[in-house]
Amino acid sequence: MRKSKRLLGLFLVLTLSVTAFFAFDAPNDRYFQIVKNLDIFASLFKEVNAYYVDEVNPNEMMKTGIDAMLNSLDPYTNYIPEDAIEEYRTMTTGRYGGIGALVGHRNGENVVIMPHEGYPAYRAGMKIGDRIVAINGYEIEGRSSDEISQLLKGQAGTPVTLKVRRFGEDDLMEFTLIREKIQIDNVTYSGMVADNVGLVRLTDFTMGASREVKNAIEELKKQGAESVILDLRSNPGGLLNEAINICNLFVDRGQEVVSTRGKVTEWNKTYRTLNPSFDTEIPVAVLINSGSASASEIVAGVLQDYDRGILIGQKSFGKGLVQATRPLTYNSQLKVTTAKYYIPSGRCIQALDYTHRRPDGSVGKIADSLKVEFFTQNGRSVFDGGGVDPDVALAGQRLAPVTISLLRNNLIFDYATRYYYLHDKIAPASNFHLSNSEYKDFMQWLSDKSFDHRSETEQELAQLIATAKEERYYDEISSQLSALENRLSHNKEADLEKFKDEIIAELEQEIAAHYYLEIGRVESSFTHDQEVQEAIRVLNQPEEIDQLLARQN
């Protein structure tokens, strides 16, 4: 209680200081409104703290208030308290002290999802599917993912001891690892996907991303790549300078990449490429989807505006806002939106209304009347208003309810773990395929597993039935609803057969990952990846590229 009063007293002193500053330094209506509302807020905080029926936590209450205030602005202006600073640094730098393994929840257990090659967990022999039971002697059952992460991370050079349950082993295994500085790669895969086509998968824009992309393309060219696919799907973005430097790989020095415009005019700036280009001739296909955001959209949009690459996939996320971090008291920070960014054609890809999005966060359809037309270097029409539109649009691959249920219930992951320990080796990931008999074995293994699923149509019908009962119309239409329910009914075995191809694709990727880690997962996916296959096709059709980019021969 004394601590609460001290915090409250400090807060009131700060508020009065701000009040005095605004009252004497700039006595106008805007500052009066600020002072007035700060005074109201302080008074309210004081009354709640003194008289609310239960004891309140000042820190939690203030954090809730700050978050609610910032959420009314945009989704990207955030308060970062002192205890979250380290996590924020990890996000922006890609570096942390740890064991080098991705750990997640699977059926209530904490499971190794992916050990990163070359780091302590991998070198010690930890495997995908290992269940972590204890960390430094502490039982971790029931602990959250954040708590597990904090226990695993720590100062480089310090030891951490894990007790692990492995598939097929009766006794627990113990690993004592020495934490290291972990550098998360931005390029998670690069390799040849056809005789003359290379692919670079970029999943982040932390420090060094442009160097990694350049090195990857350089190596692919040595392997015979005459064109390259830059995969930016589901890349959430990151550092602006890395996006500029990646654009610089493909366009000449001195070209405009992005300009930022905000309320503080002295912060407005136009960014241009500063270095000699790496390759202005190699054909480029850029893969984007609804998860490609921010820096990803700068790279995709710039290459489109200069007609330097073909964009393939789905409309991007639509985040054209720039954030800066501002220091606050007590080692906390504010990540605040300071400007919008504009790419060379003059368009801003920020969604017109970033408060209303699809469930996955992406931009919905924007009315044509709300869009403004701009033009690429070759005179092609492009539009603002929400994301970057691909030059070759493909419908996103949507999984069937049964497949989603198998993934959510971790049954594909668990079967892949079982498969790994029952088979010493498999073919290289790009050539690995499950046989029909192996798929039947999977179906048999599922026979006593629970993975109930309903399609969206069934869910909406169930809601309709519930509503009809509430409004007392059910008796009148029950026969029609029952008939429709019967028509939509399904059984697991039938769905496993109907959607066999996509389930096998998910199984093959997960099994390949167990043997060959992330590289295996990626290489196994190429056969079923419609965007990659379309990119390969387009890149091998020079006349189609010229037509798509409106080049004059």
Catalytic residues: 294, 305, 319
Say if residue 333 is exposed, middle or buried (CB neighbours under 10 Å; 0-12, 13-18, 19+): middle
DSSP string, 445-484: HHTT-------HHHHHHHHHHHHHHHTT-HHHHHHHHHHH
Would you tell me how many other CB atoms lie within 10 Å of the CB of residue 99? 27
How far, in Å, CA of 475 to CA of 398, rounded? Answer: 36
Q: Which two tokens stand for residue 121?
A: 């967990």
Helices (H), 255-410: 295-305, 401-408
Helix H or strand E segment including 112: strand 109-115
Cα–Cα dist 532/287, whole Å: 8
Query: CB 515: neighbour CB atoms within 10 A?
Result: 20
Rounded to whole angstroms, how far apart are CA atoms 293 and 99?
29
Tell me how far apart the alpha carbons of residues 311 and 390 are, in angstroms, rounded to a whole number.
Answer: 5
Distance between alpha carbon 164 and the CA centroid of its chain, in Å?
29
Token readout for 450 is 């629970």
Total Cβ atoms within 10 A of residue 118: 10
Query: Is the CB of residue 90 less than 8 Å from the CB of residue 97?
Result: no
The secondary structure of residue 430, as a DSSP letter, is: G
Which string of DSSP letters, residue by residue, matches 19-47? HHHHHHH--SHHHHHHHHHHHHHHHHHHH
Q: Residue with structure tokens 């959607």?
A: 499
For the chain, what is the total number of helices (H) and then of strands (E)? Answer: 18, 21
Residue carrying structure tokens 């017109």: 352
> Which helix or strand (DSSP H or E) is residue 419 part of?
helix 411-422
